[in-house]
Amino acid sequence: MTLDPQTIGMMTAILALFMAAMLALTHLHRRQSLGVGHWAIGEFSFGLGLIFNLSASSPWLTNVVGPILACSGMATLIAGLLVFKRKNINWLWFAAYIASVTIIAILSGVFFPNQAVRTFLLSLMFAIAAGYGAKLMLVKVEPPLRMPYWLTGCFFLCIVLAMVSRAVFAVSSGASFLPYAPSLVNQFSLGLLCISFLVISYSFLLMMHFRMAMDLEKLASIDSLTGALTRRSLGEQAARIAKRRGNHSIGIIMLDIDFFKAINDRYGHQAGDKVLQHLSATAQAVLRGVDFFSRVGGEEFCALLTDSDENMTAIVAERIRDACAKSHVTYRGQRILYTTSAGVSSGNPAESTFEKMIGEADQALYLAKSAGRNRVVRWSNFQEMVDTETFTKAQIPDQHYSFTASNFRSPDDPEY
């Protein structure tokens, strides 16, 4: 059984209108999904334009309105891809493209009617838009978006192949060319166009689904206030590191803002939020790209350093502490100074669990706060003091100043 090109064209148009309705419903229920509205309009415009092009009721509908709508639909699909990728739409290019299609359609369809020339030029214009779509999709992208991206890009290339084949066939046939004559080239080009639009349409839905899943995963893994990882996400990263680099030591820094409640009480919780954000930004600026930083409690943070022993981890913790102590947060014209305390531990993930190392760093942090705050304490120091029962404040060297309740002063105080 063989399908004639006109039937294939009508099937493609109906498919496009059906997918337009599906995408429009999706857009109505989830307006924040980027690009879906553009895809719905593009599919509808393409389907309607193809129906007009297939009808023989009027030269204007068949030769002008139909091609303009079909090519505009393709251009709108490309605009939707740009929006989905959070890129700006070049409206000048868009307008120039539509104007070119309009001029070609009017001149070759009404004033100087020529089926072969019109099909050749409009097929190439359609191929240009599809080629740009392929360029947008065939790029390096993280999973799970990679599969629908590349699938969409490959079938945009199939549309380019279909349209170029149609253009070559039209110009080689000359005056004898008929757009929907039952020829092998027409069947191939329109059949490939139909299949490509089907795959691309479902790929759009797949991209939207994966983007939603990624956004939800990001919400679950990133602390919305500070931009640091959540504790659960940090645990997942630690598990991956243990699996891949089990023989390499990792470092843990437990970090706490000294007298954070006093900051909230004096300046308000919004000021406290600014301090949390400042600490997160400061710490992440000190850490390497292969390290991980997480907010594990109200004002408590944890850093995971890959390939780091206790000595190196303590050095990094001291850099973070020093950077915080030497800077300040400005809130409503007030300078807010704050300090941090840190506990450090390290170990081999193959020999010691992540939670055990966090517990060790947490105990070292407790000692840092008990010994006067604004300092870094190593787990090995804590262990030594507990073993020798010499847990005294004097054994922890004071670093800079201690930010205690008694010296927590107003910024108006000249000695602040």
CB 158 within 8 A of CB 196: yes
* Cα gap 169→163, rounded to integer Å: 10
**CA count, 13 A, side-chain hemisphere, 333:** 1
Pairing of strands 340-347, 376-378: parallel
* Cα gap 360→355, rounded to integer Å: 9
Considering 299, 300, 310, 389, which one is annotated as catalytic?
Answer: 299
Q: 222 pairs with which residues across the strands?
A: 229
* Cα gap 25→70, rounded to integer Å: 21
* Cα gap 297→2, rounded to integer Å: 67
* Cα gap 117→60, rounded to integer Å: 16
Integer angstrom CA distances of residue 243 from 185, 206, 311, 381: 55, 31, 24, 29
Is-catalytic flag, 299?
Answer: yes
Catalytic residues: 299
